[in-house]
Amino acid sequence: MRHETFSNERTREIVSSHLGLEGPLLPILHAVRETFGYVPEAAVPVIAEELNLSRAEVHGVVTFYHDFNRAPHGRHVVKICRAEACQSVGVETLVAHAERSLGVSMGETSPDGRVTLEPIYCLGLCACAPAAMVDGRIIGRLDMEAIDEIVAEVDR
């Protein structure tokens, strides 16, 4: 999906189209993310001004929710569950393997824009093995072989 280049004007249009909603901040942030592919830092003061909120209030919501990325994602997004249940069955070893294999640290995007590696907290599949999500597709029973398959998929 191609995203638009950020502009204050387009951000104001998005805000304006949501002003009739009760509690419009979350829908506006979702629309900004859909439009630009992320929530640019420059959008925060525009949204705050248009909604008569402080920048801190808008920034707090953006940083609270993991789905409001503040930089463009890579072409592929790999999310590995780091909730307590997955930690108890060894997900940290898998995270380290994924970081080495993908060439990117958790929470970052590769310099070539190929992949973003992010934490996620609970996919509901943690009965016996960690889980992951690749480009929105859930993968259960995550192990080293599954990580290697993910790496091969994003390298295509």
Residues in the annotated binding site: 81, 86, 122, 126
Do 130 and 89 form a contact (C-beta atoms < 8 A)? yes
Looking up tokens 């016996």 gives 128
Return d(Cα 117, Cα 147) in angstroms, integer: 12
Return d(Cα 54, Cα 133) in angstroms, integer: 34
Do 139 and 103 form a contact (C-beta atoms < 8 A)? no
Q: Which residues are known binding-site members for [2Fe-2S] cluster?
A: 81, 86, 122, 126
Which parts of the chain are beta strand (E)? 76-81, 108-109, 115-120, 132-134, 137-139
Q: What is the DSSP letter of 153?
A: H
Instruction: Give the Cα-Cα-Cα angle 127, 102, 136 (nearest 5 degrees).
Output: 50
Residue 77: strand pairing partners = 116
